[in-house]
Each structure stands twice: as structure tokens, then as C-alpha cells.
Chain A
Amino acid sequence: MSQKSFGSLFEANKTESDDTDTQTTEVDLVETETEAEIPTESSSESSTETTEEKINPLQGTHYSIGIDLGTTHCVLSYVDISDPENEEIVQEVLQIPQLSAPGVIEDKPQLPSFLYQAHESELPEGESVLPWTAEPEYLVGEIARKLGEKTPMRLVSSAKSWLCHAGVDCKSPILPSDAPEEVDQVSPFQASAAYLEHLCSAWNKQHPNAPISEQEITLTVPASFDPAARELTAEAARSVGLKNAILLEEPQAALYSWIEKSEGDWRNHANIGDIILVIDVGGGTTDLSLIAVTEEQGNLGLTRIAVGDHILLGGDNMDLALAYTLKAKIEKEGKRLAPWQIQALTHACRSAKETILSDEAADNIAIVVPNRGSSLIGGTLRTELTRDEVDSVLLQGFLPSIESNEHPVMNSRTALRTKGLPYAQDAAITRHLAAFLTRQVNAVNDIEGVNLAENASFIHPSAVLFNGGVLKAPRFASRLMDVLNEWLATENAPEARLLTGLDLDLAVARGAAYYGYVRQGKGVRIKGGTAASYYVGVESSMPAVPGMAPEVQALCLAPFGMEEGSNEELPNDEFGLIVGEPVRFRFFGSKTRREDTVGTRLEYWEDDELEELDEIEITLAEENRTIGEIVSVHLSSAVTETGTLELQAISNQDDTHWKIEFDVRSSED
């Protein structure tokens, strides 16, 4: 393990040293491999496929593939990068064959991120065939979503949100969470791997000469994913054979897609000193990021300066909110609704919401829930969704017009851990946004060329980029812009402008594919590194006070903005670890403390400064040592090329490395 990571660090350092000009770095790499084969690199396009693979496994790949492993949908986009001379980018989105009903296979650009554990007598034999396998291990995609609508207890959904859920072991079979014993449960990790597996098979079926395991893969994750969730995602990719996969934050991917779509024109829409706010409201999550436009040797550079929290709030909440509004309305008339009717109501609300939010003229939309039986006319349930209801439920409920100092309402929930996901308590996206901008008011302090007015109480974005299906609705988008501009106006800041031109459903995957192209040294690359600084909790040495837990100090392991491929060591802080016994550390992250360097010890911090993450665990393996022996170690941290954080304990006597695990999560503490 240690050897492998060492290798990647070495390689990474090399690229980092030449970060400003990646192209030269790559040429260097080629030269070191075999000099004789360099001429073939510039030879005709047709020969590149075979010859390149010999030159360099990194460059020999043919496509840059971007995979958006979303909470509700997965998308795969790709760019042909086999010709290094080619400046023109042709982006394509993979049509993913999937079962849409038993025995029916449809090609769709999106693969719904659902997994269904069918009962053995539920599907006739041979009806779950896919183009690449006669018997898929799991039912995923459209068919899972459809079957799950009627049998929710066998449906696995939102596996991605579970990955970032503290307090559960993401590798233990826990989904579907309310399944009866008879149903085989899967882990969130397995479910994510199953979606990836489906995408890989679909790709390999359509590109038999370019197996996906040999391509450049970029996998997107929410900017707010903690190190453990990132590691799990990377591991899921490795488990299906995607060894080259690297991680990219979704809001960054959206910005890349915008850059790619503008075909070079983006430089006319972005100025030095701009702060771009990326708001990504997807089906299940809301993700916020700030990216500053800086000057870099006379060119425009981009630096991601802050990311928001993991907010489980999205379009699905809105549909549900509308459905429950209508349910209340119908029940007022004295009718009772069955669960399936609420389900159908939610469905009908989704399309009605889209119509009413995109069409200024549509005022009232009739909602009809037909009978489940074959008689369609008699048993229909009829109601109406009015513009006022949409306004009050969606705009007032999710995007209220508030002051910039109003922050999400947190009811102190009971300390009991529930089985479900930690959904956002406050549904108001604007309040989450206000809190984020206020927290990050110091985000540009160290960024040259980007200045903030002195009296600013929150960071002033000068441009906004929207992403995610929800913001396709013009009235949502304009409402969000209005609220933001009101805040800016009260502080006499210029209005933020909206950056347009994204395909909000596919942008993340497209941006990810484009990122693979950018990594070859073409186009601008967003800098950023880690979006938080990380700390381990260390007990301070002081006399024990009965009834009081010992004070904890936070020791900074990895600073804010640590770049991929860099590593840090803490030689001055020694720990004695017992061989063979698992040792656990408390683990913290901070999205605001930018000034802390490696080795900084914090004795005191504000509640909202440091966020406690899941504990990390280290077990010293016995290798040449006896159980019970105490070994003096120091800690080190590294950000791998993949984009995951790697913590290690290094022996002070010899150079043995032990990996510190994130993903040991358990609910019993």
C-alpha cells in the first residue's frame, strides 16, 4: 500500500512542479519513457490508437470520459482525445441502454440512479436481459425506478447521499432501509458500484475497441463530499475496473462545461476579480461553490475558493411539498388518499411544476390521478394546482425573499440517530445561500486581484452560474437572482450577472469529460485543492477533572487548498501507537480556516468553524513487530492524483507506513 502511494506521489510531484505548463510536463514524461517512439506521436490519426498505448499508459487512452454519478441520475459524456494536435472538441453523451419495463430495452442519455431488488417470481425469465448480459446482478435504471414506485420497500434510492452520511457504515448492507428481512439488502457502496458497472458495460458494448478501463475517467462528486465519501466513490470506481478515475467537484464540472460551450468566448464574459457563484440544485442535493477569476501570467485563471455544506435539499423535496399541499386540499373535501395516490400525485405535480414555472401564461393546471384499475373514467381524482399555490409553496417555501443575515433555522433535533438520511431541516435554499456567503466572507482575503468592499458582511459574487434540473425553470432562476441582487444592492455592490448557455441536465458529465481534455494541458484549469482543512482531535495533557471529558485540541493535518499530488508530514507531533490494536481519532474539517498550516494546534474554536467528521481509525499491522509493542509514529497527509485525501502514520524508527482508514464507520460509539 505504502509503496503504491509513494509511486503516485512521486509522479504527482513531477506534474506539480510544472503546473503552469502542463504540456511540457507531458512531453517530459514521454521522453523519459522511450525516445525512439516520439515521432509516432505526431503521426497520422489512424495510427495513434495503437502506437500511443505503447508510449505512455496515461496518454495512450483514447477518450476522456466524464461520469456524473448523480443522486437521481447518472450521465456519461465523452470527448475523443486520441489526437493531441486536435484543438476541436466534439462532445458526446452516451446513450445508455437500459430496461425500461420487463423485456423492453431503451436507449436514454440518463440512467436513473435506482436499484431494485426484484422478487424471484416478479419478472418472467429472460425479461431482464441487457445487451451485454443475460442476467444482470441488479436491476438498475429506469426499470428500477418504475418498479420501485409501486413497491418502494424493494427500491434503493439516493445511495449517493448515504455515502456522505455520518454514522453509517457505507459498506454494510443497509439499503433499502425499510426492507423486510427477506429482501437482500445492499450497501450504498455496492449500489454506486452497480450504477458504474452498468455505465461501463454500456460503454464497452458500444466501444469494443476502446475498453473503458483504458480511458481517462473523471468522476464527479459533490463539492461538499467529505474525505471518506470521496474515498468511497474512488473505491467504487476501482472495484468496477476504472483504475484511472479521478474525482472532480460537480460545481467545477459545471463551470468547465460552461467554458467548453462558450468555445473560447468565456474570456469575454469573465473579468479578473470576478467571483463566480455556482449554484447546483439537483434532484436531491444543493451544492454551492465560489470560484474566483484571477490573473495568471497575463491570462485568466480560475481558483475555487470555497464550497458549501452538504445540503440534502432539491427538486424532489419540491414535488413532495406540492403533493402534500394538494393532499391537504383534497382531504379538506372529505376524501381520503391512499399511499399510491400520493405517489401519483407527486408525479403529476412534477410535470405541473415544470409547466407552471416555465410558462408565464399557465395559471392553473389540472391535476388528475387516475384510478389504478382498468376503468379510467369513474375513479379519477381531480384537483387543480394554482399559480398561487406554486408561488407560496415553492417560491416562498424554498426561495423566500429574505435578508442576507437570515440563516437556516436549526431545530436542535433529538440526539437519537434515526435510520433515515439527514435531510436539510430548513427548506429555504436562499437561507442556506445567505449562510454560505456570510461564512465565506473572508474567502478572497488571500487571493490577489480579487477584492471585497470593506464593509461587506458577506462575500459579493459578481457572476452566477446555475446548474441542476430545478433551475431550468425560468421563474426559479429569476427569483434566485432577484434575491441575491437585493442583498448586493443593500451593500451597494454591483448586481451579479447570470452566466448562461449550460445544458443543466448534462452539464456536469460534459464538464467532467472536458476536464480530462484540460488535464492534457489544453485550456484553463480551475485550481483549488482541498476545499477544507482537516484536523485530528488530540487530547490535551492536563490533570483529569472528574465528570469532564478531557479537552480536545485540533491538530491540523492538511491545510486548506492542498493540491492534488502534494503531501505534508508532521514530524514534530509524535504518537505512541500499540501494534495490533485499533486506535481511533476524532476527525474534523473546516471550510473557513484558510490560514492554518500543517501542525497548527487549535485549543479553541467556534462551533461553526470546525465540523466534526467521522472518526478515523488506524491499526498497526504486525509486520515484524509483536502485538502490544508501542511504536512511535508521526502523521502525514497527502492528496492523491485521484483527488482523495490519504492519511498515513509513519514510524519514527524505520520508514514503515500505515494507512489510516476513513471508511470505518459504525453507528455504535
Chain B
Amino acid sequence: MNNTQFNIDLELIPSTFDAIHAYLAATVFGLALTVIILLFALLMGMMRRAKENKQTKPSDNKEQAISTSIPKREPQVKIVEKIVEVEKIVEIEKIIQAPAPEPIILKESTPDAALQLLTLLQSEARFIDFIKEDMAAHSDADIGAAARVMLTGCSKTINQYFNVSPVRSEEEGSQITLAAGFNASEVRLTGNIVGEAPFKGTLIHKGWKVTDVKLPKLTEDHQAEIIATAEVEL
């Protein structure tokens, strides 16, 4: 076991430079040289690319530079379109609107005015009192008497604070003609709606419109939610 040819003695240092060692040394040298050349080539390549980046930055934005050239072409197409349509001002507007449609804003009514109207109707017409009543418990005659109070009060209130006039002055049931371009928010067509204006039809309801609102002003601290104060007699 001790004197075998393939015994590895790590403490043994060769004292002669034989052919095998020379071959090994040459191989190591050759490999190292290859690695150095490859690394150098890689470094040069990276440096060249970095230079290219620096040159493109000022002309275009970062994202476009990083991304491919396809998105870069799209705005160019748009610009061409715009130039073509500059003469038609209206259409430009349309186009501007079209890509970014305005968000639809729904008007939110402030509760104050509504509460104020309720207060007025309650104080003049006992409106809330009336609608909070249990109708089933009373006779028609009693309800009628109370309704009289409510109705006279309501009409007084409405006439005092609003100017209400009919939309159409014609008699209901009469034939009227609507010319082209009539105001569709004032007049609604129903029934057999076909063809083009002028439309001929029967006035079913004359409509109402408020021409003037004169609601009272409120002080800063006024609590609109209290639509009827509790009353205590001393």
C-alpha cells in the first residue's frame, strides 16, 4: 500500500521541470490569456453602447429611448393628422375632446335650499304635519278640512317664492306645431314619433317652468335641518 505508483504525496515538491509540467504551465497561460482577451472585448463593447445612450438622451425622452422605436413612430403619425386638419377649427375641438372625454359631472343639489322650502311649506301650509298623518284613521271630511289648510298654504308659499308660468300658452287639447329646432327640454314628444320637424300634435300638458326664485336668505348660523321648531307654551 505504501509504495504504489499512484500514491499522492502532497508534501512532495518536484525538483525537476519535466515535460508534463511544461505542458501544464503552457495550458494555464493560454487559458488565462483567452479570458483576459474576452473580458477586454466585453468591456469595450459596453463602453461603446454607453456612449450611444448619451447621444440619444437630449433629443428624445427616456422611456422612448429605452423602449423600442415603434411607440416613437405613433406620435409622428398623429402630428401628421393634426396638420391635415388645422383648417377645420371645429373638428380640432372634436378631436381634442374625443381622446379625453370630459368626466360627467352630476349636479349635486345642496340640501339647504330643499330644507328651506320644506320649512316654508311647513310654516305656511303645515305640509309635513299633513303628510305625516295617518290618513286611514280619519274620515274624508276631516281630511278635506285639513287639506284645505294645506293647499291654500302651499299655493300661497309657491306663489310667493317662485314665479311659475306655463311652458306653452296654448290650450291643453289643442293642435300645435313644433318647428324644427324646438327646445327638447321644454317640450317632450310622445306617441308616434317619426319623420322630421315640424311636428304636429296635441298639447296634452302645458308644462310649468319657474321663471324666478326668490327664496329668503339665511343667516350663517341658521340650522336648516330644523324645519319646524318645537313649541312650548309657558
On A, residues with C-beta under 8 Å from B are 97, 100-107, 124-127, 129, 351, 366, 368, 370, 372, 374-378, 380, 382
How far, in angstroms, from A376 to B127 measured CA to CA in the complex?
9
Contact B126 A105 (CB under 8 A): no
Contact with A along B192-234 (1 / 0, CB 8 A): 0000000000000000000000101111111100001001000
Q: Is the CB of B149 within 8 A of A105?
A: no
Binds A, one of B75-83, B128-136, B178-186: B128-136
**Complexed CA–CA distance, A101 and B219 (Å):** 11
**Tally of B interface residues using CB under 8 Å:** 29
By the criterion CB–CB under 8 Å, are A377 and B219 in contact?
no
Q: Does B107 contact A (CB under 8 A)?
A: no
Residues on B facing A (Cβ under 8 Å): 116, 119, 123, 126, 129-130, 132-133, 135, 138, 142-143, 145-146, 148-150, 152, 214, 216-223, 228, 231
Q: Which residues of B contact A126 (CB under 8 A)?
A: 219-222
**A100 and B138 contacting across the interface, CB-CB below 8 Å:** no
Given contacts A370-B149, A376-B130, 5 further A-B contacts (CB under 8 A): A124-B221, A129-B219, A366-B148, A370-B146, A376-B146
Q: Which residues of A contact B116 (CB under 8 A)?
A: 104
B142 lies within 8 A of A372 (CB): no
B161 to chain A, nearest CB (A): 9
Write the nearest CB–CB distance from B168 to chain A, whole angstroms: 28
- Cα-based distance from A524 to B180 in the complex (angstroms): 56
Asked if B138 contacts A378 (CB within 8 A), the reply is yes
Q: A126-B221, A129-B219, A129-B220 are in contact. Are A375 and B129 (CB under 8 A)?
A: yes
Complexed CA–CA distance, A124 and B218 (Å) = 14
Q: Which of A101, A127, A382 contacts B145 (CB 8 A)?
A: A382
Known: A105-B219, A106-B216. A374 touches B142 (CB 8 A): no
For the complex, give the distance between the alpha carbons of A378 and B135 in Å. 10
The CA-CA distance from A55 to B132 in the complex, in Å, is 67
B residues near A124, Cβ cutoff 8 Å: 221, 223
Please judge, given known A-B contacts A368-B149, A372-B231, whether A377 and B138 are in contact too, CB under 8 Å: yes
By Cβ-Cβ distance, the 10 closest A-B pairs, closest first, are: A103-B222, A126-B221, A106-B216, A376-B129, A377-B146, A129-B219, A105-B217, A103-B219, A376-B146, A104-B216
Contacts of A380 in B (CB 8 A): 142, 145-146, 149
Residue of B nearest to A142 (CB): B216
- Name 18 interchain pairs, CB-CB below 8 A, sorted by A: A100-B216, A101-B119, A103-B222, A104-B218, A105-B218, A106-B216, A106-B217, A351-B152, A366-B145, A370-B146, A374-B228, A375-B129, A377-B133, A377-B135, A377-B138, A377-B143, A380-B145, A382-B145
Instruction: Report the separation of the CA atoms of residues A105 and B220 in the bound assembly, to the nearest whole angstrom.
Output: 11
The chain B residue sitting closest to A375, CB to CB, is: B133
- Tell me whether B214 and A368 are in contact (CB under 8 A): no
Question: Which A residues are in CB contact (< 8 Å) with B132?
Answer: 374
Nearest Cβ in chain A — how far from B214, in angstroms?
A: 7
Chain B: minimal CB distance from A110 (Å): 13
List chain B residues, Cβ under 8 A from A376.
Answer: 126, 129-130, 133, 146, 149-150
Nearest to A107 among chain B residues (CB) is: B214
Q: CA–CA, A97 to B221, complex, Å?
A: 18
Q: Which residue of A lies closest to B148 (CB)?
A: A368
Tell me, in angstroms, the Cα distance from A129 to B143 when the chains sit together.
Answer: 39
| Bound complex: CA A104 to CA B116 (Å) | 9
A350 CB → nearest B CB, Å: 13
In the complex, residue of chain A having the shortest beta-carbon distance to the beta carbon of B143: A377
**What chain A residues lie within 8 Å of B149 (beta carbons)?**
368, 370, 376, 380
Closest partner residue, chain A, to B214 (CB atom): A107
Closest CB in chain A relative to B48 CB, distance in Å = 79
Q: Are A104 and B148 in contact (CB under 8 A)?
A: no
**What residues on A are CB-neighbors of B221 within 8 Å?**
103, 124-127
Residues of B within 8 A of A102 (CB): 222
Residues of A within 8 A of B152 (CB): 351
Is A127's CB under 8 angstroms from B231's CB? no
- Tell me which residues across on chain B come within 8 A of A105, comparing CB atoms: 216-219
Query: What is the chain A residue whose CB lies nearest that of B141?
Result: A382
CB neighbours (8 Å) of B133 from chain A are 375-377
Q: How far is the CB of B118 from chain A (nearest CB, A)?
A: 13
B213 CB to closest chain A CB (Å) equals 13
Which of B123, B142, B150 makes the CB contact (< 8 A) with A378?
Answer: B142
Query: Is there an interface contact between B222 and A368, defined as CB atoms closer than 8 Å?
Result: no
A105-B228 Cα distance, complex, nearest whole Å: 17
Name A101's contact: one of B123, B135, B148, B231 (CB within 8 Å): B123
Contacting pair B145 A368 (CB below 8 A)? yes
B155 nearest CB across to chain A (Å): 12
Contacts of B138 in A (CB 8 A): 377-378
What A residues does B223 contact at CB under 8 A? 103, 124
By beta carbon, the residue of chain A nearest B217 is A105
On chain A, the residues within 8 Å of B214 by CB distance are 107
Query: What is the chain A residue whose CB lies nearest that of B230?
Result: A374
Tell me the nearest residue of chain B to A106, going by C-beta.
Answer: B216
* Chain B residues within 8 Å of A129, by CB: 219-220
The CA-CA distance from A103 to B226 in the complex, in Å, is 11
- Report Cα–Cα, A396/B34, bound state, in Å: 136
| Chain B residues in 8 Å Cβ range of A382 | 145
Q: How far is the CA of A29 from the CA of B195 in the complex (A)?
A: 78
Give the docked Cα–Cα distance between A106 and B228 (Å). Answer: 18
- The minimal Cβ–Cβ distance linking B141 to chain A, given in whole angstroms, is 9
B122 → chain A closest CB, angstroms = 10
Q: Which residues of A contact B130 (CB under 8 A)?
A: 376-377
Q: Which residue of A lies closest to B215 (CB)?
A: A106
In whole angstroms, how far apart are the Cα atoms of A124 and B222 in the complex? 9
Measured between beta carbons, the chain A residues less than 8 angstroms from B119 are 101, 104
> Could you tell me the distance in whole angstroms from the C-beta of B80 to the nearest C-beta in chain A?
58
CA distance A376 to B216 in the complex (A): 26
Q: Which residue from A104, A372, A375, A378 sits with its C-beta under 8 Å from B217?
A: A104
Q: How far is the CA of A377 from the CA of B129 in the complex (A)?
A: 9
**A402 to B: closest C-beta gap in Å:** 36
Residue with the greatest number of chain A CB neighbours at <10 A, chosen from B142, B216, B218: B216
Min CB distance A94 to B, Å, is 16
